[in-house]
Structure 1
């Protein structure tokens, strides 16, 4: 088991959503909607600097608190779904995730009573067994005039830093805008089935690679619908 002195971890502090339900929020800044409240079993968090203007949305971190009387050695793995900070914290965890750092239920209650605790964290790979990367069409979309979507179930430990939308007939691609959080948008999207290209990068913006999904977004795409892209990453 790793020790709290492990140099791969960064020292920080964490709080939790005091007025939330046990899981996360469905109105988070990343634009995930209800997915942002329930993904990863509800072990989610808002982030301050790690939000990175939305690039950090969907990133996974191992977070463990430092008080050996209450805290387990493994801590909890969380997904970033929102933006926020409190009293110089890097994370505002869901209540479920905050208590998940504890060794047992009694210790979890003690942690929640403290409200803010010293923690250490590191970036880890996300894992969604049996899931492919999935497009969720945003509720603001209006076929054929405006398309906005988020990407769900992104595995690995890299960020999606660019997305291209491609016409499947003539293979002309256009770079999409990140409107906010993890929401990618374009006005006047092409007609016909739409292909995507996603650029994955590490946190330094290096080690870049394009991933091309197997499946397209169908021509008759609709707001609120989800479409399995038939591809997954483990980088």
Structure 2
């Protein structure tokens, strides 16, 4: 039991050490274009390629976006956050809007297809938001930023396709910070036998014949510069996990 308590602390400590070595770039905006879902509700879609379901339509207050292939990155980009600002001074604010990637798609040489809420959120005010939406496609600047979910821990939702104990599929909610989750291990908590999971699609991770008993996750957080660190959440997935349930992992990763 002492080892199981020590592992999360060591992993978190190593992770924070790695983070302290990072340097940030506050002005590294990239030029591109953005459109919005023309036939959608104000919020995002609940059938996005990342596999978030209804969570993907409303996370971040509905400020979400589909991403082009180079940002979607075969699902690695799911859950990443970007500051997106349009550059027409007549309509656009300086800060723009912060969006979460929940889907894959591009249109007319865009990197982002925003929810209507997010697209209008780039505007100076409600009047200019209507004018901005009328344009349909605009020139933008964007950069990767840290995701921030106040009072929310990283959480997993068990996919409806799961069947205990034969098959487990889940998606990770509230991915925080500015790093990607590039690998996930599922570990049996008593013997700490671990199984490397497959990325099924988007942000959905799967395991055939998952380990028995309560399950501990290990998530590999990777930065663009190449630094990597495994993080072990404080809470486990219970032995009697069920399809459709969500489980709070009791950890926040803010860098």
TM-score (norm 1): 0.96
Q: Is the CA contact 2:185–2:194 (under 8 Å) kept in the aligned structure 1?
A: yes
User: Does structure 1 residue 77 correspond to structure 2 residue 98?
Assistant: yes
Moved over 3 A (4+): none
Hey, what does 2:159 align to over in structure 1? 138
- How many residues were matched structurally? 229
User: In structure 2, how many angstroms separate the alpha carbons of the residues matched to 1:21 and 1:226?
Assistant: 25
User: In structure 2, how many angstroms separate the alpha carbons of the residues matched to 1:211 and 1:175?
Assistant: 14
Compute the RMSD of aligned alpha carbons. 0.8
Which consecutive unaligned segments of at least 5 residues does structure 2 have?
1-25
Among 136, 143, 146, the alignment partner of 1:115 is 136
Hey, what does 2:14 align to over in structure 1? none
Hey, what does 2:222 align to over in structure 1? 201
Report the Cα offset of residue 155 of structure 1: 1.0
- SS for the counterpart of 1:142 is coil
Report the Cα offset of residue 7 of structure 1: 4.8
Q: Is the CA contact 2:195–2:211 (under 8 Å) kept in the aligned structure 1?
A: no
Query: 1:63-89 deviations in whole A, cap 9, x for unaligned?
Result: 000000000000000000000000100
Hey, what does 1:169 align to over in structure 2? 190
Among 233, 236, 239, the alignment partner of 1:219 is 239
Hey, what does 2:212 align to over in structure 1? 191
User: In structure 1, how many angstroms separate the alpha carbons of the residues matched to 2:99 and 2:27?
Assistant: 20
Which consecutive unaligned segments of at least 5 residues does structure 1 have?
1-5
User: In structure 1, how many angstroms separate the alpha carbons of the residues matched to 2:28 and 2:128?
Assistant: 26
User: In structure 2, how many angstroms separate the alpha carbons of the residues matched to 1:13 and 1:203?
Assistant: 22
- SS for the counterpart of 2:73 is helix
Query: 1:177-231 deviations in whole A, cap 9, x for unaligned?
Result: 0000000000011111000000000124x11011001110000000010000011
Hey, what does 2:178 align to over in structure 1? 157
User: In structure 1, how many angstroms separate the alpha carbons of the residues matched to 2:171 and 2:59?
Assistant: 14
Among 51, 54, 57, the alignment partner of 1:34 is 54
User: In structure 2, how many angstroms separate the alpha carbons of the residues matched to 1:150 and 1:7?
Assistant: 32
Query: 1:124-145 deviations in whole A, cap 9, x for unaligned?
Result: 0000010100010011111111
Among 55, 76, 93, the alignment partner of 2:76 is 55
